[in-house]
Amino acid sequence: MKKSISLNLLLLTITSINLFAQNNAYTQKMTPEILWKLGRLGSGMITPDGKNVIYSVSTYNMNANKAESNLFMAPVNGGPVQPLTNEPGNKDVLKVDKVTGRVTYWYDGHIWQMNADGSNLTMLTADAKDDLDNIRISPDGTKIMYTRNVQVQKILGKDLYPDMPKTSAYVFTDLNYRHWDTWQNGKNSHVFVADYDNGKISNEKDIMHGEAFDVPQKPAGGLEDLIFSRDSKQIIYVCKKKAGKAYALSTNTDLYCYTIATDETKNITPGMMGYDTQPAFSNNNTHIAWLSMKEDGYEADKNDIIIKDLKTGVNINLTAKWDETVESFIFSNDDSKIYFTAVYHGTAQLFSIDLKNNSTGSAQAIKQITKGQWDISGIIGQTGNNLLVTRMDMNHANEIYNVDPATGNMLQISDINNIIYDHITASKIEERHIKTTDGKDMLAWVIYPPNFDPQKKYPTLLYCQGGPQAALSQYYSFRWNFQLMAAQGYIVIAPNRRGMPGHGVEWNRAISGDWGGQPLQDYLSAIDDIAKEPFVDKERLGCVGASYGGYSVYMLAGMHNGRFKTFIAHDGLFDLKSWYGTTEELWFANKDIGGNYWDKANGKAQKSYLKFNPSSAVDKWNTPILIIQGGKDYRVPIEQGLQAFQAAQLRGIKSKLLYLPDENHWVLKPQNAIVWQREFFDWLKLTL
């Protein structure tokens, strides 16, 4: 990999983007093809001198049907962005040397190093190590930590019976035999620590000692699940040390502290029964903080920030009296504050906690820093008095911004997609407040087509959010993209119905056990409210959604009383009884629908299975429906989509099945995603 070749490739990439902009100078709307040309911001790291930020950007190669990432550097106070790499494949920054400024990064199974301007590129490791993941170099540079899959059980037939090497059998004696999109094969992801010397890795040790547990947590855990202490002597990792049925029924993760010198591990969150995640040491190494949920089995419980004094062992819940839930956080450089992000009233914003005057979790110690129609989606770090954050909105994917905590003022630092966005007409996004059937005030986002004309009439889509307790804020999705929907000529209304964070804990919790009750009435209130506007074509209303949103579509298909002309459901729950018998994270079903279907004395569960079960109302279906189902979705398995399609067909309802055999609960492959979007909009054109 020669630098001259890299620069030539880079120039070609920049030229192609400029040509796209020139050739599309009059482009007025987003299309699926343009959407998939956008770069996607990855991880970022501030250089030790605080002057620059190095970050990764993924772009999708449609012909190769996969993503590739490269590294860029931008001044934290604004200025020209400098590309550092431009080769196919994924890259992750591991460390920036405080003295030399040399950048160490992971690429193609090797550790590489280069100058801060991308020059003097050197491959440090001699042997490729493609099986390593979640790599961290210790603060003192002498240790390296990573994860790797380890065989700890015999489940595959060929492992149980070596004389049958071609058998494809699996043999299970307990749950959890599959998870999200992967069958259990006897391997677990373990944390390893080793000596590190300028790319040389030696004296490797499995700090989990062969346990049948995973780090990071599956399916969504990552590098935030494991950290070095500031003095490089300890490792903290997140793990749910449960197996079988206990694993399927619990969300109880704990933080484990591993001392490198003694090879000893200690649970530092005993008795804390929900999710404990995202550990972080204070800069002076005297405290550790993390996010914590109280209730075992409740994945959407309030996320609080807990801080532990490592000398006294005392824990303080810093957000105990604050009526919202935290998403991410960092310590300030002087350890006087914690900065965090949280969804608040339909947007995600930046907040701070005063650590010097907060021994009781007082809400008065919390200050909101940013306000605006956007999402602060993450915090990269602090530089001087300011913070670098990532920010998005419904018209723009993530970019890096410099925030002044004193004023909330922001300066855009990265320019990943400016060239493309400068040639696209943005949608107007409007906050709308709606009275629900029980007299509550509900926020909804309304997304209008580009160049919206209130004198015209537009077809309108009700968007049903998944989760069911996921936020509906100013996020930018690459599949359920509101900008893309509006660009095709649709008004979209996206209500913050019961169950969403950002409107207080009570509003967030209200959906559990009431899936088919008030939340669906909230949806109907939203579409009825927007339909009063003269610019809405009341004869052309559609309803779309995925996961719980797909469940909502199936339910509304049996109770909409002629409101909608078409439906689209992706990976929705159609029959709760068969779903309970095939899904994997049973704690979710037990919490949200009340439990199993055979316990006739459980009134809450029986209400869900009988009253809130979409399959029970198929006799009332009478509207065209597109059904989308992933073949590797084990959370909402394949029988859900197939049953819904078969029912619609046998009822004589105009219907279509889009089956994606190699996709899970999401659509991750770019060519599948383009097909998904083309089918989505073709269906709307045909039926609306």
The answer to whether 420 touches 37, Cβ cutoff 8 Å, is: yes
In a domain, 673, yes or no: yes
Helix, strand or coil, per DSSP, at residue 268: coil
pTM, to two decimals: 0.95
What are the backbone dihedrals phi and psi of residue 580, each rounded to the nearest 5 degrees, phi first? -60, -30
Task: State yes or no: is 345 an active-site residue.
Answer: no
52: buried, middle or exposed (CB in 10 Å: 19+, 13-18, 0-12)? buried
**CA 54, CA 414: separation in Å to the nearest integer?**
10
In a domain, 192, yes or no: no
Task: State yes or no: is 423 an active-site residue.
Answer: no
In a domain, 364, yes or no: no
In a domain, 554, yes or no: yes
> Beta partners for 272?
none
Report, as ranges of residue numbers, the positions in the chain whose pLDDT lies below 50.
1-17, 19, 21, 25-26
Structural domain including 486 reads 425-687
CB neighbour list of residue 600: distance below 8 Å, 6 or more residues apart = 606
pLDDT of residue 364: 84
CB neighbour list of residue 342: distance below 8 Å, 6 or more residues apart = 324, 325, 326, 327, 348, 349, 351, 501, 502
Q: Which of 181, 276, 571, 633 is catalytic?
A: 633
pLDDT of residue 10: 41
In a domain, 337, yes or no: no
| CATH label of the domain that carries residue 448 | 3.40.50.1820
Q: Which of 427, 547, 608, 615 is catalytic?
A: 547
Task: State yes or no: is 665 an active-site residue.
Answer: yes
Q: Which of 179, 287, 396, 665 is catalytic?
A: 665
In a domain, 14, yes or no: no
pLDDT of residue 570: 98
**CA 331, CA 381: separation in Å to the nearest integer?**
9
In a domain, 522, yes or no: yes
The answer to whether 255 touches 271, Cβ cutoff 8 Å, is: no
The answer to whether 630 touches 660, Cβ cutoff 8 Å, is: yes
pLDDT of residue 127: 82
DSSP 8-class letter at 269: S
pLDDT of residue 227: 98
Nearest to 476 by CA among 40, 136, 18, 22: 40
Q: How many domains does the chain have?
A: 1
In a domain, 391, yes or no: no
pLDDT of residue 523: 98
